[in-house]
Structure 1
Amino acid sequence: MELTILMPCLNERETLAVCIDKAQAFLERSGIAGEVLIADNGSTDGSITIAQQHGARVVHVPMRGYGAALIHGIREAKGVYVIMGDSDDSYDFSDLTGFVDALRSGSDLVMGNRFAGGIEAGAMPFLHKYLGNPVLSFIGRLFFHIRIGDFHCGLRGFSRRKMLELDLQSTGMEFASEMVVRSALAGYRVSEVPTVLRKDGRSRPPHLRTWRDGWRHLRFLLLFSPKWLFFYPGLAIFAIGFLLAVIALPGQFHIAPNIALDVHTAVLGCMTIIIGTQCITFSLVARRYATSRGFLPPGYRMSGLAEAITLERALIFSGILLLAGLVGIGYCIYQWWRVDLGPLPYGQFIRTLIASGTAVVIGLQVAFTSFLAAVLEVKSPNASQDSTHDQTVMQHG
């Protein structure tokens, strides 16, 4: 069997029959050996009976959720290729030629593009059309260098074997983002087909919740990009703090006759440096952990930097910072002892103490974070056996 047309379903009795009929008509007209598969997510409105009456195969999904239905459906599909789409009659299943041609030409994932194909009046809410989809698609292209214009089109086709190899996990609406991101990170060939979005035929509100599901998509994109979640913000914060510290630590810095940056700016700068350093170290830990668990591939852009910073190298760096900081603190204690532990001059002394304390904090921070990264990479004695078992299960579906 070459093609499975997969539709997730949760109480879609109003539109399910017409979607199935269109899909069946396409298979018959094109001469493709295929099936229509309904992944039912717990319908109670007679959708299952309707699907069976119209010649579709139904599989029952034990877990609720858009992603859960599609993951189960992909596993149960019999086709070499799968084309998935919502069963609300917003997509035209009677014309899937572009998807089939792209799949036959070697694409591993073929995305529909509603902005290129056209969006009928009333088919997409204003916020989704002009804010949610464009912004999230832009973030996806920026974070992962994926050259597609519509990250969240519900109509898409893919190689079943390739998609099973990814072992997708998201059970909610963010499944749509996971499929695209994981495919791109795995080096899959991704292409687009213009797709028309029509107003759905349901009388009830859609399952999609604008702000909740939008946040879940954004959260997924951030979690799968440690460099944008931690590294770049941390680098920017560190640079700002370093600039403030360099300006204010040597002494009072006059911006104008009546405006000066003093020790308070130096304190703020050093605090900002500490925050920036924490973000940068978090990015490296997250990157190495994600690689060890298979969430991100070894060839991802931050992998070279993450692998270069070993535990031993990090401990050497933190040791140098600790030593420098302790020397500075020791100098301050010596100066305090010289005045019989009495009052000390406020000026340069406090600046030395601030810089030394910052060096100690960063040194300890780097050391502890490096050990945390090493702990996260410790593998279970049965890890290789578990991995082999998982791969065998995946291969045999």
Structure 2
Amino acid sequence: MSDALELTILMPCLNEAETLAACIAKARSFLTRAGIAGEIVIADNGSTDGSQAIATASGARLIAVPEKGYGAALAGGIDAARGRFVIMADADDSYDFANLDLFVAALRDGADLVMGNRFAGGIAPGAMPWHHRQIGNPALSFVGRLFFHTPVNDFHCGLRGFSRAAILALNLRTTGMEFASEMVVKATLANLDVREVPTTLSKDGRSRAPHLRSFRDGWRHLRFLLLFSPRWLFLYPGMVLLLIGLVGGAALLPGPMHIGGVVLGIHTFLVAALCVIVGVQSIAFAIIGRRFASRYGFIPPSDTYDRILEAITLERILLLSAILMLTGVVALGWGLSEWAQRGFGDLDPRTTMRAAILALTALVCGFQLMMSGFMSSMINIPFSEGRIGGQSNS
């Protein structure tokens, strides 16, 4: 049966009794007009308004998905789909299921993921809140393009088509609204053929409030984008902080600096040391995060990053840690000698504090790197699933 169907039109559903029948009728009219062997699947996420009966009466195939969440409903529907291609959209009558020709054409042409672009196709008055249209969607789409170089300009369009096999291979994991972002990000990172076609957005036909919560779900999307990009979350900020700290610290180590009427002294030197410590820890988190995400399938492997990670061995990290901690001990010795020269009495913090700050910064960074090196190596330990006592269960 799977081979006989070209297309599954998938609608996640949670209490869409007002609009579900109209959406199914439009989808069926498209399949008939286009002469496509297909099916309509309703992935119901626990409706209590009779949506299930409407779906069955309208001739759609009903799939019950007990796990709550937009992403969970879609994942259940995709898993149950019988079509080679899947086109998904909300069942609130905001997307036009009767006109899916551009999506099908792109999929037949070899595209793995075809995103709708509502800004290119047209957004009806009242169909999208102004803060979604002017702020939320453009901002999140920009972040997605910046972090992952995806060609998508409408990152959160709910109408999209894809090769079922290609999307299943991505092993999508999220269960909430961020499922939409995960699909685009993983498809881009996996070098799938991602395209965009214009589509329209109409005002939805329901009388109840939408399930989407602007700030909560917007934050969940942004959080997902950050967590999927250790470079932007940890590496780049860490490199900037480390550079600021090293340059500022080197300039202030001999003594205060005068820039115009501003004097940069011991307090600025302390801030520079803080930048170095936070920068080093952030870069270490980037390495650990990338290794973890790549190893456990959250982010597809990258030859470039894998070569870099392979070069950052535990032994090399421990050597660098030892050098830093030795530098700290030497700096502490310098500070103690200054104290001894003054008979272990009161010290001028403007001079002796520099030695103490340098020593503590080197010691803290060395200790951080040593702990991070061991943590990264723990993640990198080879393992074989399904083996007990050296015997394979398979």
Distance 1:190 1:182 in 2: 11
Pick one of 244, 255, 261 that aligns with 2:259. 255
Q: Residue 336 of structure 1 aligns with which residue?
A: 339
Cα-to-partner distance string for 1:319-348 (whole Å, 9 max, x where unaligned):
111112211212322343454433334443
| 1:143–1:225 Cα contact (<8 Å) kept | yes
1:131-190 per-position Cα deviation (integer Å, ceiling 9, x unaligned): 110000000000000011101000000111111111111111100000000111111110
- Residue of 166, 170, 189 corresponding to 1:166: 170
Match of 1:314 among 306, 309, 317: 317
SS in 1 for 2:161: strand
1:5 to 5, 9, 12: 9
Q: Deviations over 1:333-379 (max 9, x none)?
A: 23434544333344433212221221111111111111111112224
User: Taking every aligned residue pair, what percent have the same amino acid on both sides?
Assistant: 55
Paired position in structure 2 for 1:327: 330
Residue 182 of structure 2 corresponds to 178
Question: Which deviates more from structure 2 when the two are superposed, residues 260-269 or residues 301-310?
Answer: 301-310
Partner residue of 1:133?
137
Could you tell me which residue of structure 1 aligns to residue 222 of structure 2?
A: 218
Q: 2:57 aligns with which of 53, 65, 68?
A: 53
Aligned partner of residue 260 in structure 1, secondary structure: strand
Question: Matches of residues 347-358 of structure 1 in structure 2 within 5 Å?
Answer: 347-358=350-361
Say whether residues 1:26 and 2:30 are aligned partners: yes
Partner of 2:72: 68
CA contact (8 A) 1:22 1:94 kept: yes
Q: Which runs of 5+ in 2 are unaligned?
A: none
Aligned mates of 2:46, 2:122 — CA distance in 1: 32
Question: What is the deviation of 1:381?
Answer: 4.0
Q: In the alignment, what sits opposite 2:146?
A: 142
What displacement does 1:68 show?
A: 0.5
What is the one-letter code of the residue matched to 1:3? Answer: L
Change (3 A) 1:110 1:383: farther
Q: Please say if 1:92 is aligned against 2:96.
A: yes
Task: Give the aligned residue type for 1:146.
Answer: T
Give the TM-score of the pair, scaled to structure 1. 0.93
Structure 2 match to 1:82: 86
For the residues of structure 2 that align with 1:277 and 1:300, how far apart are their CA atoms?
24
Q: State the partner residue of 1:269.
A: 272
Matched-pair contact (CA < 8 Å) for 2:228–2:299? yes
Equivalent in the alignment of 1:360: 363
Q: Does 1:370 align with 2:373?
A: yes
Query: 1:290 maps to what in 2?
Result: 293
> 1:291 is aligned with what amino acid?
S
Q: 1:151 aligns with which of 155, 174, 197?
A: 155
Instruction: Tell me the TM-score normalized by structure 2.
Output: 0.94
Mapped contact 1:18–1:89 kept (Cα < 8 A)? yes
Letter in 1 for 2:156: H
RMSD of aligned residue pairs (Cα, Å): 1.8
- Residues 202, 164 of structure 1: CA spacing in aligned structure 2 closer, same or farther, 3 A cutoff? same
**Range with greater deviation from structure 2 (344-353 or 88-97):** 344-353
CA distance in 2, matches of 1:307, 1:170: 29
User: Is the Cα–Cα contact under 8 Å of residues 186 and 300 in structure 2 kept in the other structure?
Assistant: no
Q: Is the 1:185–1:300 Cα contact (8 Å) retained in structure 2?
A: no
Letter in 2 for 1:277: V
Alignment partners' CA distance in 1, 2:42 and 2:206: 18
Amino acid in structure 1 at the alignment position of 2:319: I
Partner SS, residue 36 of structure 1: strand
The one-character-per-residue Cα deviations of 1:219-240 (angstroms, maximum 9, x if unpaired) are 0000000000011111122222
Tell me the amino acid that sits aligned with residue 235 of structure 2.
Answer: F
Q: Deviations over 1:273-292 (max 9, x none)?
A: 11111111111110011111
Q: For residue 166 of structure 1, give the secondary structure of its aligned residue in structure 2.
A: coil
CA deviation map 1:39-89 (0-9, x unaligned): 001111111111111110001001111100000000000000100011011
Q: CA deviation at 1:38?
A: 0.3
Taking the aligned partners of 1:152 and 1:301, their CA distance within structure 2 comes to 29
**Contact 2:94/2:203 (8 A) holds in 1:** yes
Q: Does the C-alpha gap of structure 1 residues 53 and 233 become closer, same or farther in structure 2, counting only changes over 3 Å?
A: same
Cα separation, 1, equivalents of 2:246 and 2:335 = 22
Please tell me whether the aligned partners of residues 27 and 33 of structure 1 are also in contact (alpha carbons under 8 angstroms).
Answer: yes
CA distance in 1 between partners of 2:386 and 2:155 (Å)? 34
Q: Where does structure 1 lack aligned partners over 5 or more consecutive residues? A: 393-397
1:230 match: secondary structure: helix
